[in-house]
Chain A
Amino acid sequence: EAGVTQFPSHSVIEKGQTVTLRCDPISGHDNLYWYRRVMGKEIKFLLHFVKESKQDESGMPNNRFLAERTGGTYSTLKVQPAELEDSGVYFCASSQRTPPDTQYFGPGTRLTVL
């Protein structure tokens, strides 16, 4: 069974540019989560999808971040325009059942904003 995959693994962009991160969850997992770890800080929750619906987006830092999950399969996280403080590692996770359930994490996307 394939795990959670994320693309790209690394992205380096200039301040003000746009970046789109993609996450493919484990097949059959309705729950998809985005987390972020800024350098030296804890891993922080961003948002939670159940199928294509946003269940909880309380962790999204501001309106420069837009997450979508069309068709309830893969998800994208767009940052527009990117700022220096957006640099960090963005993790995606998925789980099969309603809570509580184990979340399986992808390898992360390291975003560097110059």
Chain B
Amino acid sequence: AQSVTQPDIHITVSEGASLELRCNYSYGATPYLFWYVQSPGQGLQLLLKYFSGDTLVQGIKGFEAEFKRSQSSFNLRKPSVHWSDAAEYFCAVGAWGNKLVFGAGTILRVKS
């Protein structure tokens, strides 16, 4: 069965510092992968996705993620975090029929 692991439940970083959120997946076929973000009081917003091709994908708000098949990982990165990035981040893998399997989420806190 498909699964996604986000090992960090909470992460705190200083404003301006770099960020990396970890995501590992388990899926028998070629995965397609997503990162979504949920800001307080908002719905899920797509940050970026990987379907095929270049393994380094760029997203909105200055985020990027790298697909590493050998490590079954799809980590999200940002070189300099802004206070407005404080939110909950979800990694997801597209499973059969296009239903998404989500990780538990990582709550990002940004300290000034």
Binding site for B on A (CB under 8 A): 4, 31, 33, 35, 41-45, 48, 55-56, 59, 91, 93, 95, 98-108
Count of B interface residues, CB-CB < 8 Å: 22
Evaluate contact between B46 and A95: CB separation under 8 angstroms.
no
Q: Output the least CB separation between B91 and chain A (Å).
A: 11
Evaluate contact between B36 and A42: CB separation under 8 angstroms.
no
Evaluate contact between B102 and A43: CB separation under 8 angstroms.
yes
B43 closest partner in A (C-beta) = A107
Evaluate contact between A48 and B43: CB separation under 8 angstroms.
no
* CA A108 to CA B51, docked complex, whole Å: 26
A100 closest partner in B (C-beta) = B32
Q: Output the least CB separation between A68 and chain B (Å).
A: 19
Pick from B45, B51, B98, B101 the residue with the most CB of A within 10 Å: B98
Evaluate contact between B102 and A107: CB separation under 8 angstroms.
no
Evaluate contact between A99 and B98: CB separation under 8 angstroms.
yes
Evaluate contact between A48 and B105: CB separation under 8 angstroms.
no
Q: A91-B43, A104-B46 are in contact. Are A43 and B90 (CB under 8 A)?
A: yes
Evaluate contact between A31 and B43: CB separation under 8 angstroms.
no
- Contacts of B105 on A, CB cut-off 8 Å? 42-43
* CA A56 to CA B45, docked complex, whole Å: 24
* CA A54 to CA B22, docked complex, whole Å: 34
Q: A43-B90, A105-B43 are in contact. Are A48 and B99 (CB under 8 A)?
A: yes
Q: From residue 36 to 59 of chain B, which have CB atoms closer than 8 A to chain A?
A: 36, 42-46, 49, 51
